């Protein structure tokens, strides 16, 4: 049946459904109620199925061409061993439209003339549907030919106080939350999440409780009584649950804030980590606490300590603002140092393509490289030069 004909049938049925509803509201009797409910449910399901079918067909065409583009990298992207020690630089992207839409990623990739092997997104802890294991999201990314990377954020206040009677009251929950995770108080959430990851079967990068050593940003930081030993215990506890659930397809990304001292004390141990993740974001002069920092200035001090851990390094959030300096020059110098200074350690870079970031400023910040045409052209050239594609 042609798409146009299917939609005509669906909207014809919906028209009758509305008419019946109006008659019912005019008081023609409760006898219409059961008929109305049954027809309503069936018609809405039919209309939704038509919409889903058309949407899936469109996505199938897009994903097939994208997946074919990434075919040369399939031996690497499908292998845990290869992803633990990639022979070529891996590139990825996060887009501010995730998880609701991939339109921003499609636009970004079109501008970069490149399809990213790693697609990054964020999931908070909690009871909401979008805080459970994101099966549909990772399966969509897989159909697109890429590997998902999930930054998994333990926002423990998102659990419903009325349902979770075993937890501390919401106002007290953030203090010592990592120790509570290590004691098993959140296993009710971690176990099904681990089962979901195991059921996916294919490789996933998991970046759990990132920047745990920063006392100014996240509630799982040291300002809430979370000590390095608490983080290590929590990490190992979560890791053990994933092992018990058979989630051996997970690649663990340990991601400290490298501008804070003594981040090494938070390292969980070689056997519990696959990658080291760092954020390299230049805030320029948008706030009193920031100034223009080059890629090299942000990374150079921490790099020797990171290199000693003998794990591949991923720049999990890569980008610069434009206020206070020259974006083109920032990216030019960044790729120069990636080639000449950090070639041994840095094996993956994930672009932070967020055009409206309000997490650290009252005004929305634009991190997208595409806002500067000269920087965009430079990065597109660098992607073509460095990629295995």
103 confidence band (pLDDT: 50, 70, 90): very high
Question: Which helix (H) or strand (E) covers residue 122, if one does?
Answer: strand 118-124
Q: What is the mean pLDDT of residues 157-178?
A: 95
Q: How far is CA 246 from CA 135, 199, 243, in A?
A: 16, 9, 5
Q: What is the mean pLDDT of residues 258-276?
A: 97
Task: Give me the pLDDT at residue 62, please.
Answer: 57
HSE of 46, CA atoms in CB hemisphere, 13 A: 17
* Chain segment 323-352, per-residue pLDDT in tens: 999 999 999 999 999 999 999 999 999 999
Read off the pTM.
0.84
Under a CB-based contact definition with an 8 Å cutoff, are residues 386 and 91 in contact? Answer: yes
CA-to-CA distance for 317 and 8, rounded, in angstroms? 47
The least confident of 30-39, 302-311, 360-369 is 30-39
- % pLDDT > 90, the chain: 79
* Chain segment 91-100, per-residue pLDDT in tens: 999 999 999 9
* Strand, helix or coil for residue 90: strand
186 confidence band (pLDDT: 50, 70, 90): very high
Q: CA torsion sign, 255 to 291 to 286 to 157?
A: positive
Task: Give me the pLDDT at residue 387, please.
Answer: 82
Cα maximum dimension of the chain: 80
Residue 212 pLDDT more than 90? yes
CA-to-CA distance for 178 and 377, rounded, in angstroms? 43
Q: Are strands 275-282 and 204-208 parallel, antiparallel or unpaired?
A: unpaired
Q: How many CB atoms lie within 10 A of CB 256?
A: 25
Task: Give me the pLDDT at residue 63, please.
Answer: 60
Task: Give me the pLDDT at residue 151, please.
Answer: 98
CA-to-CA distance for 233 and 102, rounded, in angstroms? 36
* Chain segment 59-71, per-residue pLDDT in tens: 454 566 899 999 9
The least confident of 161-165, 345-349, 376-380 is 161-165
Q: Of 387 and 267, which is predicted with more confidence?
A: 267
42 confidence band (pLDDT: 50, 70, 90): very low
Task: Give me the pLDDT at residue 213, please.
Answer: 98
Task: Give me the pLDDT at residue 289, please.
Answer: 85
Q: Of 278 and 360, which is predicted with more confidence?
A: 278
With a CB cutoff of 8 Å and minimum separation 6, the contacts of 162 are none
Residue 24 pLDDT more than 70? no
Query: Which two three-digit tokens encode residue 27?
Result: 């008081």
Under a CB-based contact definition with an 8 Å cutoff, are residues 258 and 299 in contact? Answer: yes
Residue 54 pLDDT more than 60? no
Rounded to the nearest integer, the mean pLDDT of the chain is: 88
Q: Of 33 and 115, which is predicted with more confidence?
A: 115
* Chain segment 226-246, per-residue pLDDT in tens: 999 999 999 999 999 999 999
Query: Between the ranges 33-37, 192-196, 355-359, where is the mean pLDDT highest?
Result: 192-196
The least confident of 53-57, 120-124, 198-202 is 53-57
CA-to-CA distance for 264 and 228, rounded, in angstroms? 9
Q: What is the mean pLDDT of residues 359-365?
A: 86
């Amino acid at each position: 049946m042609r798409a146009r004909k299917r939609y005509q049938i669906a909207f014809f049925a919906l028209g009758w459904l509305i008419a019946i509803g109006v008659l019912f509201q005019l008081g023609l009797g409760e006898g219409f109620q059961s008929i109305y409910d049954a027809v309503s449910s069936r018609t809405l399901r039919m209309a939704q199925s038509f919409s889903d079918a058309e949407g899936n067909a469109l996505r199938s065409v897009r994903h097939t061409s994208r997946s074919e583009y990434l075919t040369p990298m399939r031996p690497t992207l499908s292998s845990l061993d290869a992803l633990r020690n990639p022979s070529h630089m891996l590139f990825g992207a996060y887009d501010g439209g995730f998880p609701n839409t991939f339109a921003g990623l499609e636009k970004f990739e079109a501008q970069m003339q490149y399809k990213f092997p790693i697609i990054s997104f964020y999931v908070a802890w909690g009871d909401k549907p979008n805080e459970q294991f994101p099966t549909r999201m990772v399966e969509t990314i897989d159909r697109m030919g890429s590997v998902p990377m999930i930054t998994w954020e333990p926002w423990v206040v998102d659990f419903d106080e009325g349902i979770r009677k075993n937890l501390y009251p919401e106002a007290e929950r953030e203090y010592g939350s990592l120790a509570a995770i290590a004691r098993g108080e959140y296993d009710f959430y971690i176990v099904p999440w681990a089962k979901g990851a195991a059921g996916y079967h294919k490789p996933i990068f998991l970046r759990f409780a990132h920047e745990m050593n920063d006392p100014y940003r996240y509630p799982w930081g040291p300002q809430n009584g979370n000590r390095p030993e608490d983080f290590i215990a929590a990490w190992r506890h979560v890791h053990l649950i994933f092992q018990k659930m058979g989630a051996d397809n997970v690649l663990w990304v340990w991601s400290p804030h490298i501008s804070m001292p003594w981040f090494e004390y938070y390292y969980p141990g070689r056997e519990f980590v696959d990658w080291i993740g760092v954020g390299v974001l230049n805030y320029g002069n948008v706030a009193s606490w920031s100034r223009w920092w080059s890629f090299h200035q942000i990374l150079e001090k921490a790099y020797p300590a990171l290199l000693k851990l003998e794990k591949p390094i991923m720049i999990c959030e890569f980008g610069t603002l434009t206020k206070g300096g020259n974006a083109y020059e920032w990216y030019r110098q960044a790729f120069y140092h990636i080639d000449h200074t950090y070639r041994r350690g840095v094996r993956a870079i994930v672009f932070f393509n967020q055009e409206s970031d309000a997490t650290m400023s009252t005004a929305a910040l634009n991190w997208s490289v595409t806002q500067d045409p000269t920087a965009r052209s430079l990065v597109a050239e660098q992607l073509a030069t460095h990629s295995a594609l």
